[in-house]
Structure 1
Amino acid sequence: MLTVHHLGISQSERAVWLCEELGLDYKFKRYDRRADNRLAPDEYKALHPAGMAPVVEDGDLVLAESGAICEYIDRKYGGAKHCLDVDHPDFADHLFWFHFTNGTFMTNGMMQLMLAMADPQNDMPTGFVADRTAKAWDMVEKRLGEAEFFGGSQLTLADIMMVYCITTGRMMRQVPLDDKPNTVAYLQRIGQREAYQRAWAKCEPGIEPNLA
C-alpha cells in the first residue's frame, strides 16, 4: 500500500491532496516538526537519504521530491488524470507551471533568504532576487486571470504543486495578496474542493488554510 509521510507545514501536503483527489486508499503518517529548530525529526530524516520532506513509500520503493512523487502517484494510480497528454491544448501551460513551481517560484524565496543571511549589509543581491520574486507573483496573478487553473481548463499537477507555494508556503513569508484578486479568487475555488478540505484536515488539524 502507498504510504504518504507528511511533515507538518511542508510540501508533503501536495501528495496528500493528490491522493484525496484520486480517491486512493493509502496510508497516512504525520510527523510534527522539532520544537527547537522547526526541522524534521530524526525519524523522518531517516526515511530517505535526502533527509527532508516529502517522502512516500510504495512497496520496496522509497521516493522523495514532491514533483516526482506527484507524477508517480498520478501515473501509477490515477491513470495520468492530472498529467496532460502532448496532444491536449493545455499541455504546454501545464508543463510550464508544473516545473515553474520548484524550479523558479520557490527558488526565488530561498535565494532571497539565503543571500540576506549571508550578507545582511548588501542590499544588491537581495534586491535583485526580490525583483525576480515580484515578477513571478505578477505572472501568477496574470495567469489566474486568464485561466481557471494553472494548467488551463482543468486541475492538473501544476495546481497540486503551485497551491502549496501560495498558501502554506506563504505562511512563512507573510506575502499579502491585497493587490491580487485573481489569485485570491482561485484560492477560494481550491478551498471549496472536498478533496482539498479532506487533505488539509489530515495534514494540519486545527489550523486554518491560508486562502486569502
Structure 2
Amino acid sequence: MVLIEGNEYVTVHERLQMVHTNHEKVSIETEIISIDQRSVTVKAVLKINGEVYTAHASEVFGSTEINETSALENAETSAVGRALAFAGYGITGSVASADEVIAAKKRQPGKSPGNGKRNGNGNGNKPASPAQRSTLEKLLGNHLVTSEEHERIVSLLNEPELKMADAKAALDYFFGKSEKQGDAWIKVSPGVLDARQNG
C-alpha cells in the first residue's frame, strides 16, 4: 500500500497478488480499443470463477517522461488495475490504484506525489460539484454502462464526501479527457462510451 497526500492506495501489483492468492481460476485479457498519434485506450477483461469484470484506461503519448516510450503499457496496467478494483480488490476509498494516482500527478505541472504540496486552488480535494453528481446520476440510465460500472457509479454517489477529483476521474473514464489548447477545449482521449457507441 502506498500513502499519497494522506490517502492510501494499493498498487496494481498488490491487487494481482491478492486475486491470484484468493482464486485458482483467474484470466486477464487486454485489448487495444483505440490508438492514434495522440493517445491509446486499452480494455481489460478480468474473469474470476465465471464472473467477468471489464475496465478501460487511456494514456496520452508524451504526457509524462515514461509515456514517451511506455504509454501503451501504462494504459494496460491501469485498465487491469481498474478491473481488479471493480472485482473488489484493493479498494481503499478509491477505484484508482497507486500507479494511476502517481501517473496522474506526474501529468500535473508543479505537483509531486507524496510531498503534500499543491499549486493552485487544490480543486481536487473539493467536494464534487452538483453538475458532476448530476452527470454521474444520468449515467445510471445509460444502456452502454455495464453492470459493474453501474455499481461503481452508485458507490461513488453514495460517498458522503465524494471528491471533485474522483468524480472527474469517473467522468473522464466514461466521456474521455479534454485539454485546453488556446481558447478551445480539445478531446485528447476518448471515453469508453465513445468506443461502445461507435462499436
The alignment's TM-score, normalised by the length of structure 1, stands at: 0.26
TM-score in terms of structure 2 length: 0.27
Give the structure with the higher percent strand: 2
- Which structure ranks higher in relative contact order (CA pairs < 8 Å, sequence separation ≥ 6)? 1
Would you tell me which structure has more helix in proportion to its own residues?
Answer: 1
